[in-house]
Structure 1
Amino acid sequence: MRRWFGTLAGRTTAVIAAVATVAVVLAGLLAAQLVNATAVDEAKKYLAVEADSLSKQSSLGSLQDLRTDLLTHGARLAQISTDGRVTGGGARLVDAKTVAEVLTGKSVSTSVNGPQNTVVLEARPLAAGGGVVLAQPVSEIRAAAAPLLSRMLIALAVCLVFAIVAGGLLAQWLSRPLVRTAHSAHRLAAGERSVAVAPGGPAEVVEVSQALAALDAALRTSEGRQREFLLSISHEIRTPLTALRGYAEALADGVVSGDDVGGVGRTLVAETNRLDRFVRDLLELARLESDDFRVELQPVDASLILRESWQAWQAVCVQKGIAGRLELPSGPLPVRSDGQRLRQVVDGLLENALRVTPESAPVVLAAYLSGNGLTVEVRDGGPGLTEADASVAFERGALFARYSGERPVGSGLGLSIAARIVQRMGGRISVRAAREGGAAFVVELPGIPAGPRQT
């Protein structure tokens, strides 16, 4: 039972039952007050009508018939003589003040608080002298109304039971789809995919179910891409590992000796560097996706950074016979950025461009001020990218998996790293076709905000 009260259905049922109980109790108390007050008011009206009728008669006639009719309604009759004596069945209910007022010719309509009970009293003077009094205890009036009040309380009790049962059914209707949705969420958390989420319930619950289904689809897509990326990256890592192991075994067995040792050493260094690049890219990507990756934005001259980067890559252009070209304006290129991270992005884009660009084709590093910021372009004369390639170019491993074995590729992480760094610097990166025939990667960074003018 305690566990049931901890559930949504149990708590909802308990709240509905508590609210219904309070409402019924308040309604019962109010109904009792209204029924009793109405009964007293009706008794007063009846006694007043009868008293007025009697006061207009020349004589009271047959007292026996009159008493019988009054007692049928619970009222008592009393007569006041001209000398102030009170007689009749209701004499004990008449107080001295009422007698005095009637003898002076006044009509009395009041409630008198007696030693044991409150009495409703209607007194009228008679034309022949004296007066007539009709009285009835309030307790008797309320007792006469008790059956009606009992029926009302029974009706309220039935309503209370109905409200509790209806509340329990409502709680079950609300909680059942939530329980199903929670069960599906637990299955997703346990690693199960393509979990069917049964629709139903209120609109909010249906919306949660639809969001859970969308999350399931997103997880399947993301995990599928991760598996493809891991498979492809594992294949690329296995290749240098195989070479390293083969040459290491040859050296250990003495197969390689003499002049061949230098060549083997250079191969081992190259393959080790390749592995190191994979590991560094993976670590960089992991840092970018964490919260502790710091980017220090400050005013810098991008022209100096781009010239330094281009100077470092000129030797590669000459070695590969690529027609490299730097297109920068003569003046400075002020931008609010992290100079080291900007250099990292440009170096990565140039490395990708030089990898895919054939001999004699161009590679261009260009930059210019545009609007309120800086635009940096790295264009190449390589094979370029299709529209489908451009839509996934900055997803980790997407182009690597698509073109591995068809064209020179890196670790598959460079563009993803560049995109995340640019985003951290408050800019955006995109790719389009270059007029040189290949791809143009465009980085847009915010400029330096203009300060207040001095007057």
Structure 2
Amino acid sequence: MRRGSLTVHVALLTTAVATVAVLLTGAFAWWVIRSTSEAQERDQLAAQAEVLSRTPPLAAAMLGRQERIAGPTGTMLARVRSSGEVEGPAAEVVTASRRAALLSGEEVSATATLNGRHMLVEGVPTPAGGGLVLAQPMSTVDEASARMRTRLLLPLSLGLVGSALAGALLARRLARPLTSAAAVAHRLAEGERGLRVGTHGPTEVAELAGALNSLDAALARSENRQRDFLLSVSHEIRTPLTTVRGYAEALADEVVTGDEVPAVGRVLTGEVQRLETFVGDLLSLARLEADDFRLEVTGVDLGSLLTRLSDVWTPLCARHGVGFRTERCEGPLMLRTDGFRVRQLLDGLIENALRVTPAGGPLVVAVRPRAGGGAVLQVRDGGPGLTEEDAAVAFERGALTTRYRGVRPVGSGLGLAIAHRLTTRLGGTIAAEGRAPEGGACFTVRLPAEPPTSAASVLRASR
């Protein structure tokens, strides 16, 4: 469906509004002009009657002379004598009530029909008693109204044209920054970066421009991170592949023979396991970021989970000379969550901590209730810790691996990103602190009493 441009829509809308406003104004002015013309004619007729009432015997002659000078106006006169007798061409318009009003000294202002014509009637009392009445055809009001209405058409037309032009200019002013913003959005979609949209114009347009500028900066940052991550991935894969290829060629060329073969096999096995770990981390992160990720929500006792965790990690840490211990509250600590994913989260944090903790150092996993419901999980180590800059980017993919490769033991660079995504899926938050009481880093996970319900991400299981 083809849509009209915003400029056309705004111009048409403003023109329509202006047309309605002009029509309403014209209708009101039409009525006002008629009322004003009638009031002016009545004032003039009343003033004329007032002048003639001072010399009633000469009134007819004076009126006739005035008409001879100014031209026929159709004005007719009636005289009410003090005795109540009515005489003159306009005697028919002097009703009993009007005659009584004049005899009592009151003025008369009315309309009447005389000889089939609609007339304005104005009467004033005379000094000697009685009164003088003038009747003027209503056609004089119509003529005056027509003249004034003719003069009104031009300003109304100019107002309508001016409104249409103003609407077109306004539409262009509004549409220009929007068109510019749309062009920038299309260029962003095509992959261009470093574009800027001017933030002039109305507030809403300026906000849109600012949002596009922010989007451009965010896309640039995101793509730079992705580029750095891909470089990191290629580096992580290239090293074990180079080792595997070198030893494979050595075996194929029979450079390695005899007693050297088992040692080479162990090296190849280690490199392949390294590749498997890295690919597994990539797949885990991809699954966590998928829209169809599911949680198996059940009742979980974190105390029991911590016991099973200790049974596994205590001997593993002991092999590296690291002292593993747990801190927990007394009694069960129940949550409605996915126990498998919580265990996966803790395993990843412990593995990351064990990698950097030197022999003789501690590794602590603590679990305690959270105020208001839920639980707080901590993994603390006695390693080198993190700087404030490290903590700020700890959960970005490959950030710490790139920073500390060759300085301290590093993994695939995905472990902490997986931990962050897992925590988010569980409805919790995770934070990194540079210094723990044990001297190393501290990772704190806060889980709710129950993950937020979402049909797309949570599958409840009743057990």
For normalisation by structure 1, the TM-score amounts to 0.84
Q: Work out whether 1:18 is the aligned partner of 2:5.
A: no
Aligned to 2:216: 216
- SS state of the match for residue 192, structure 1? coil
Aligned to 2:7: 9
Once the two structures are overlaid, the 10-residue window that deviates more, 212-221 or 311-320, is 311-320
Aligned to 1:428: 429
Once residues 397 and 414 of structure 1 are traced to their aligned partners in structure 2, the CA distance between those partners, rounded to angstroms, is 9
Aligned to 2:458: none
2:56 touches 2:132 (CA, 8 Å); kept in 1?
A: no
- SS state of the match for residue 214, structure 1? helix
Shift of 1:413: 0.9
- SS state of the match for residue 290, structure 1? coil
Aligned to 2:225: 225
Shift of 1:240: 2.2
- SS state of the match for residue 293, structure 1? coil
Counterpart residue type for residue 76 of structure 2? L
Q: Deviations over 1:124-146 (max 9, x none)?
A: 79999998653322223221332
CA separation of 1:95/1:277 partners in 2, compared to 1, >3 Å: closer, same or farther?
A: farther
CA separation of 1:252/1:148 partners in 2, compared to 1, >3 Å: closer, same or farther?
A: same
Once the two structures are overlaid, the 10-residue window that deviates more, 187-196 or 370-379, is 370-379
CA separation of 1:355/1:31 partners in 2, compared to 1, >3 Å: closer, same or farther?
A: same
Q: Deviations over 1:103-126 (max 9, x none)?
A: 966656432357875322346799
Once residues 165 and 280 of structure 2 are traced to their aligned partners in structure 1, the CA distance between those partners, rounded to angstroms, is 65
CA separation of 1:105/1:308 partners in 2, compared to 1, >3 Å: closer, same or farther?
A: closer
2:193 touches 2:216 (CA, 8 Å); kept in 1?
A: yes
Once residues 371 and 127 of structure 2 are traced to their aligned partners in structure 1, the CA distance between those partners, rounded to angstroms, is 109
- SS state of the match for residue 280, structure 1? helix
Shift of 1:232: 0.6
Counterpart residue type for residue 447 of structure 2? L
Q: Deviations over 1:183-232 (max 9, x none)?
A: 22222221111112223112322222222222222221121111111101
CA separation of 1:371/1:58 partners in 2, compared to 1, >3 Å: closer, same or farther?
A: closer
Once the two structures are overlaid, the 10-residue window that deviates more, 241-250 or 435-444, is 241-250
CA separation of 1:301/1:6 partners in 2, compared to 1, >3 Å: closer, same or farther?
A: same
Once the two structures are overlaid, the 10-residue window that deviates more, 126-135 or 317-326, is 126-135
Q: Work out whether 1:367 is the aligned partner of 2:372.
A: no
Give the one of 424, 436, 443 matched to 1:441.
443
Counterpart residue type for residue 212 of structure 1? L
Structure 2 counterparts to residues 21-60 of structure 1, below 5 A: 21-55=19-53, 57-60=55-58
Structure 2 counterparts to residues 112-123 of structure 1, below 5 A: 112-113=112-113, 117-122=117-122
Q: Work out whether 1:397 is the aligned partner of 2:402.
A: no
Shift of 1:238: 1.8
1:12 touches 1:171 (CA, 8 Å); kept in 2?
A: yes
Q: Work out whether 1:346 is the aligned partner of 2:343.
A: no
Shift of 1:442: 2.1
Shift of 1:371: 3.4
- SS state of the match for residue 57, structure 2? coil
Aligned to 2:418: 417
Once the two structures are overlaid, the 10-residue window that deviates more, 252-261 or 286-295, is 252-261
Shift of 1:398: 0.8
Gaps of 5+ in 1: 450-455
For the aligned residues, what is the CA RMSD? 3.4
Counterpart residue type for residue 173 of structure 2? W
Aligned to 2:457: none
2:298 touches 2:336 (CA, 8 Å); kept in 1?
A: yes
2:322 touches 2:361 (CA, 8 Å); kept in 1?
A: yes
Aligned to 1:175: 175
Once residues 436 and 207 of structure 2 are traced to their aligned partners in structure 1, the CA distance between those partners, rounded to angstroms, is 44
Once residues 13 and 177 of structure 1 are traced to their aligned partners in structure 2, the CA distance between those partners, rounded to angstroms, is 16
CA separation of 1:58/1:11 partners in 2, compared to 1, >3 Å: closer, same or farther?
A: closer
- SS state of the match for residue 60, structure 1? helix
Gaps of 5+ in 2: 103-107, 452-463
CA separation of 1:116/1:232 partners in 2, compared to 1, >3 Å: closer, same or farther?
A: farther
1:382 touches 1:437 (CA, 8 Å); kept in 2?
A: yes
CA separation of 1:10/1:116 partners in 2, compared to 1, >3 Å: closer, same or farther?
A: farther
Q: Deviations over 1:304-327 (max 9, x none)?
A: 112212222233223323233333
Once residues 332 and 382 of structure 1 are traced to their aligned partners in structure 2, the CA distance between those partners, rounded to angstroms, is 31
- SS state of the match for residue 191, structure 2? coil
Shift of 1:236: 0.3
Once residues 115 and 251 of structure 2 are traced to their aligned partners in structure 1, the CA distance between those partners, rounded to angstroms, is 124
- SS state of the match for residue 437, structure 1? coil
Once residues 325 and 17 of structure 1 are traced to their aligned partners in structure 2, the CA distance between those partners, rounded to angstroms, is 78
Shift of 1:342: 0.9
Once the two structures are overlaid, the 10-residue window that deviates more, 282-291 or 367-376, is 367-376
How many equivalent pairs are there?
439
Shift of 1:81: 10
CA separation of 1:124/1:78 partners in 2, compared to 1, >3 Å: closer, same or farther?
A: same
Counterpart residue type for residue 366 of structure 1? A
1:356 touches 1:408 (CA, 8 Å); kept in 2?
A: yes
Once residues 323 and 94 of structure 2 are traced to their aligned partners in structure 1, the CA distance between those partners, rounded to angstroms, is 130
Counterpart residue type for residue 425 of structure 2? R
Q: Sequence identity of aligned pairs in percent?
A: 48
Shift of 1:448: 7.8
Once residues 354 and 102 of structure 1 are traced to their aligned partners in structure 2, the CA distance between those partners, rounded to angstroms, is 116
Structure 2 counterparts to residues 213-362 of structure 1, below 5 A: 213-250=213-250, 262-329=262-329, 331-362=331-362
- SS state of the match for residue 245, structure 2? helix
Once residues 333 and 85 of structure 1 are traced to their aligned partners in structure 2, the CA distance between those partners, rounded to angstroms, is 113
1:299 touches 1:448 (CA, 8 Å); kept in 2?
A: no
1:384 touches 1:439 (CA, 8 Å); kept in 2?
A: yes
CA separation of 1:278/1:59 partners in 2, compared to 1, >3 Å: closer, same or farther?
A: same
Once residues 103 and 188 of structure 1 are traced to their aligned partners in structure 2, the CA distance between those partners, rounded to angstroms, is 86
Shift of 1:61: 5.5
